[in-house]
Every structure is written in C-alpha cells, then in structure tokens.
Amino acid sequence: MTNKLNTFVQVDPGHFHSALVLKESLDGVSSTIHIYSELDQVLLNHLSLVSGFNQRAENPSNWKLEVHTGPDSLDRLIKEKMGEAVIIAGHNRSKIKTILACLENGFHVLADKPWVIEAVDFPLLEKALKVAQEKNLVVMDVMTERWEVVSMLQRELSNSLEIMGPFLKTGRPALSLRSSHSLCKKVNGLQLRRPVSFFDIAEQGEGLTDVGIHLVDLSMWLLFPDKGIHKNDIRIKSATRWPTILDLSQFQAATGQEKYPASLDDYVEGDCLTYFGNNTVDFEIHGLNIHVDTRWDFMAGPDGLDTYSAITRGEKARIELRQNEATNFESEIFVKPVSHSMEQLQILLEAKIKDLSQKYEGLGLIRHDGEFQLSIPKKLRTGHESHFGMITRQFLSHLRKESPIPSWEFANHLSRYFITVEGVKMSRGTV
C-alpha cells in the first residue's frame, strides 16, 4: 500500500446505506467526500446521518462533505472526477445504468444492492461486470449478510459432513431462508424516514429483487462455499408475490409525509397503500432444492428490527438459525439430530467447536431437550450497521491490490440476480 489516500465520491445518495458506508473513519481514505446530488430532502437526510456520525460522543468520524448540488449529477461527477471510487445506493431502477457509466469512465464502484430489479436490465449487469474485468476495476455488491457471525457459523457447521451428512435431495428443501424487513425502523438510534420512492415498486423493486438478493446470495454461499454457480446450474421452479397493505398513519410514520403523493396514485385506494414487497421463490442448484421467502412488514421486530431465519437440512442433522421472541430477537444457532443420537451429535459438535474456537474465540455449546444451541459471546456479534465498514475495507483491499477478488464472485454475482429477476417475473405470471 502507498501513502496516497484513496478518494471516494457519492452520487444521488437515495438510501441510508450510502451513509452507513461512512459510519466509521477509514484508514488511508481522504476525509473529504464529494457528493453529487439534487438539493432535496433525501440529500438532507443523508447529510444529517453523516453529521450524526461525526458528532457522536464515542469514536466519532471526521468526514468533510463537499456537496455539489444541481441537475445532471452523474454527468458532473464523471466530468469533474473528484475521486477514484464511487459509492452508490438507492434509485434502484436506474442504478445499473449509473454503475455502468461509472465503470466505463474509469471509476471503481461500491454499489449497494439491488443492481437490477427487472429481467430486461440483466444484460446491462453482464456488460458492467465485463467492463470492470476489461478495465481492471473493482466493482462490489454490498452483501452484508455474509458478515454476520451466525451466518459464518451456520456455513461452517452445514459443510461438516460428519455433523450434517449429505444435504437433503428429496422431500423438504436442503435450505429454507426467510427474512422480514421493517418499513418503519430506527437507524443509529433515530427514526428512519424512507423516501416516497421507496413505496414505488417500479423504482424500488419487489421484495425478492430488493432485500431478497441477500437470501439468494446466502444460498450459494452457504451450500456451495467458494464455488462459482452459473445460470445453467439453476432451475427456477415456482414463485409467488403478495402485498403489504399500509394505512395513511403507517405511511406517515415511515416517511414523515402527511399524505400520499401523486406518484403513488396507482397503488392507493381510499386510505390504504398497496405495497408489493413480499415474494417467495423455489429453485434448484445442482440437485439441491432451496426455498426463499422475503417479506416487508410495517414493523417486523422491536423498533423495526429486521428478522431472519435459515434452516439447512442434512441426512444426519438440521441446523437452524432463529431470530424471534423466543431468542429475544437475537440470532441464535440450533442443531437438531436427524439420524444421530444426542450423545453422538454432542461429541461431534464439541470437537467442531474446539476447532472453530481458534477463529471464533469463546464459542460454547448448550444442551436443550432434543437439540443443541451454540453459545456465541457478545464480542463476536458485530451488528448489521458495522458490516458496511467491513465491506468497505474489503473493497479497499481489492482496490489497493492487497487481496484478489475471489474467482467465483463473478459467476455468483450474475447468478443471484438471475434468480431474483426471473423469480419476480415468474411470480407475476409473465414467464
């Protein structure tokens, strides 16, 4: 690594994830961030979040924001080139065109999900990744769920043949994933105000193409670690969709707006807004069946905490990640025997935990009636918001050529979006 500071710019920060990338100071990155955007409430919300990071009492950041307001944000960013890497979040409908334009003009790109929300734009994703390879540029999708310690531990246990046996190939899915996200939630301890455009599925995307991309990514990452999955390895079997209905008071709580804007007229009937944020998709990869269920509730957990569950099924054991009232909304890992006895499984788990403790210090095992639970120390639980800093540091490591991008990422990047856009297309009955 040289002494030269890396420089970031942001364009039209339309989602609070733009701010979370800057939640922590980043070594070797210039403290001056150039932001290109129209002057609107979404920009002001973004500036307020970053300002809060700078002003917090403990470990404050020190960002200096140079804000360039006006129309044609992307054109001005490309022309002025005030940085080497662009951070992109929000404005999902046009995002892939923004990503492609930045890559074609020599910028590295760190872009929040989703990159595409409709099947018609999938060729642009293929082109963007090809341009990045040809120009030797780093382009990364923000896949935060891989950084959850519970996800890492489930991956470790699920791929232990002694514990799990082969994954199920008949009957129930080898993997079932479900997430519930909250339309009304708190971020950094403050009430989040979502932009009105969030409730326009033509702009935001349906649940599967938006937050569901995390679950589809995890399916490959969990079941086929470090292996590239290609489109011809996938068979999409079925998909569904249904709406969440909000009344005006709930819309007001989520957005801070007093009434429904004209832009949402197509989704409003009387006092209620219809939001198609819920999807399921069933698909198969290399003979393994996978079920994904993604939902948007008004408030999924306390203070709008998102909730998540995942079950991997093997012939010898089943591993369940649970996050619900019974776990006090903390994500926990449980292992249930299928063909093992409890005594056999305990011996195997204790040996595995001893091995894992070199990497995950402090792990333990709790025996319950008919199942085991991993005891995960608090110091290993980093939290969703901190994962953006971890991903940004990984992005910088690739940019600085300190570590290579794994060879399988290119194929999996395409495949996860192929599943989400084709799944939504199927759920609409358009396949």
pLDDT tens, residue by residue, 39-73 = 998 899 899 999 999 999 999 999 999 999 999 99
Distance CA 183, CA 250 (A): 9
pTM here is 0.93
DSSP reduced 3-state for 176? strand
Classify residue 400: in a domain, yes or no.
no
**pLDDT at 293 (0 to 100):** 98
**pLDDT at 232 (0 to 100):** 95
Last residue in a domain, options 117, 141, 165? 141
pLDDT tens, residue by residue, 140-181 = 999 989 999 999 999 999 999 999 999 999 889 999 999 999
13 pLDDT band, cuts 50/70/90, is very high
1 pLDDT band, cuts 50/70/90, is very low
Q: Does 188 share its domain with 110? A: no
User: Does residue 123 carry a pLDDT above 70?
Assistant: yes
What is the CATH number for 161?
A: 3.30.360.10
Classify residue 177: in a domain, yes or no.
yes
Classify residue 325: in a domain, yes or no.
yes
Q: Does 96 share its domain with 137? A: yes
191 pLDDT band, cuts 50/70/90, is confident
Q: Give the amino acid at 217.
A: D
Classify residue 235: in a domain, yes or no.
yes
Q: Does 66 share its domain with 151? A: no
Distance CA 302, CA 162 (A): 38
Query: Which has more confidence, 388 or 127?
Result: 127
Q: Does 198 share its domain with 121? A: no
Q: Does 132 share its domain with 237? A: no
DSSP string, 121-142: GHHHHHHHHHHHHHHT--EEE-
Q: Does 109 share its domain with 153? A: no
Last residue in a domain, options 124, 141, 158? 141
Last residue in a domain, options 75, 110, 141? 141
Phi, psi at residue 281, to the nearest 5°? -145, 135
Distance CA 59, CA 367 (A): 39
What is the CATH number for 26?
A: 3.40.50.720
DSSP string, 270-308: TTEEEEEEEEEEEEEETTEEEEEEEEEES--SGGG--EE
Provide the token pair at 110: 């760190």
Q: Does 285 share its domain with 325? A: yes
User: Does residue 287 carry a pLDDT above 70?
Assistant: yes
User: Does residue 384 carry a pLDDT above 90?
Assistant: no
Arithmetic mean of pLDDT, 237-261? 95
**pLDDT at 414 (0 to 100):** 97
Distance CA 115, CA 272 (A): 29
Q: Give the amino acid at 16.
A: F
Q: Does 57 share its domain with 160? A: no
Q: Does 231 share its domain with 207? A: yes
Classify residue 364: in a domain, yes or no.
yes
User: Does residue 2 carry a pLDDT above 90?
Assistant: no
User: Does residue 339 carry a pLDDT above 50?
Assistant: yes
Classify residue 249: in a domain, yes or no.
yes
Strand stretches in 17-167, DSSP E = 32-37, 64-69, 85-88, 108-111, 139-141
Least confident of 115-119, 133-137, 191-195, 328-332: 191-195
**pLDDT at 188 (0 to 100):** 65
Q: Does 254 share its domain with 365? A: yes
User: Does residue 325 carry a pLDDT above 90?
Assistant: no
Classify residue 399: in a domain, yes or no.
no
Q: Which domain covers residue 226, as residue numbers?
A: 146-384
**pLDDT at 404 (0 to 100):** 94
Average pLDDT, the chain: 94
Distance CA 281, CA 159 (A): 23
Classify residue 409: in a domain, yes or no.
no
Q: Does 106 share its domain with 153? A: no
Q: Does 222 share its domain with 358? A: yes
Number of domains in the chain: 2
